[in-house]
Structure 1
Amino acid sequence: MSDWRGRTLGTREATYDETRAILYALSVGAPASALDLVFEKDLRVLPTFALTLAQWAPDELGPAGAFDMTTAVHGSQRLRVRKPLPSAGTVAMTARVGEVWDKGRAAVFEVVVESEYFDATWSIFAPGAGGFGGERGPSSRRRPSGDPDRTLTLRTSPNQAALYRLLGDRHHMHIDPEAAKAAGMPRPFMHGLCTLAAVTLPIAEAHEAHPAGLTELDGRFAAPVFPGDELTIETWEQDDAVLFEAAVEGRTVLSGGRAAFG
């Protein structure tokens, strides 16, 4: 598995227009009143939209034979913003496999995508691919000690996964009940990246920031979220960032969260 470390996944250009950027904002929960996110006049693009443009890269790794696509899961996500995305345009990206960590019975593949606008890293947890004698890698960020500074609430929409999949991630388990059951879920569930992006909106508002001003984002996907679920988001202020965790009825769904705004 160490042979995968540093392997190039190629280059890609993604072209989008204002309609696509607006659809993205609506799909992650931006209200119609947030005119600079949903109206083409003076439009600001949410930085997490970049992750839809770069989704091709982690999707390349499974078919290339790195791991079993039927059992691998998206473990965590990192985003670093270099400069704001334009309201419409073409983004050139390069992708590679970063580190490959040996967790014993599983491996974690880091897929790194770089562009002039952002750097993004997908961590893919691949059962059965570990045990090759590599390093275990860093541990996940632990829940902050002490009581949270704020507790927020976010109600997801019953239609949210159906909207979000129009941005490119059309895995059937997010829309088709039979596909969801085959994946071990009782019904279609939210895309992890949709949930992660959605929580940045109330976090930004609570901390008097603009969601389009997001400069850094990290989060680990601890459990699935279903469309219509209500999330409880706990936040802790730390230096120039916000640490966060999210739960549904006491079950942690996002852990190790960190967001920074410019």
Structure 2
Amino acid sequence: MKNIFLYSCLSLSLLACKQEKKPQKAEQKITAAVAKKTEEKTQDSIVVMPVEHASFAMKLNDKTFYVDPVGEIENYTALPKPDLIFVTDIHGDHMSAKTLLAFTKKDATLKIVGPQAVKEQLPKSLQNRLVVMNNNDEKSFLGVQVKAIPMYNLREEAKDFHVKGRGNGYVLTHNSKKIYISGDTEDIPEMRNLKNIDLAFVCMNLPYTMPVDAAADAVLEFKPKKVYPYHYRGKNGMSDVAKFKNIVNTNNPSIEVEILDWY
């Protein structure tokens, strides 16, 4: 494991896919960070805990949500245990039956949320735990409203990577605060048309999702208050997230861009 535990808080305090091991941070630093968050007790406190690539945990008040957990279970031992798991797509950097089984064995009531395509790829024991949400479905979990947002490719050379209707992005709404998780997508109309997003996780890796310029242009259109670039390791290395930050902040300084430690 590399550094897996980087906390980030907004005043609401707002929150950030592969299988390599990373060294953990010192336990005392994690404990201190948890204690600090516990003391704050601010309304809609959101803490982001990146693991790697597209895998992260997000603590929203007293509930912890995992997104696309893959890799060794040891990568997650320093994190709060999940109350709910979201899976966006069937690819190995988003969905791991082995990792999901490890979590569900520890918690007999733990549910997984994902599209039908994910359910079809999982063993029966996990299928029984999965709540299917397909594009545009809306459900409530643990007091949080969830809408499944389409995620797909637009460029001709990339359309086979992520076809429309198979995977989900998600919008989580709690007390009128909105968090957008893009999953693997390009700058699709469904992203550009989002409104009143407080925190966005936006992917940008080639050839699988979208270029930095397209990601920045989409963010400038839907104007989240804060954005975390994530899922930015591609076939030929890392996307230039510093360039992404520069484009966004040059054109709209009011959008906060924070680059977390994903790799």
Which TM-score band applies after superposition, normalised by the shorter structure?
under 0.3
* Structure with the larger RCO, 1 or 2 (CA within 8 Å, 6+ apart): 1
Using structure 2 for the length normalisation, give the TM-score: 0.26
**1 or 2, which has the higher strand percentage?**
1
**Which structure has the larger Rg?**
1
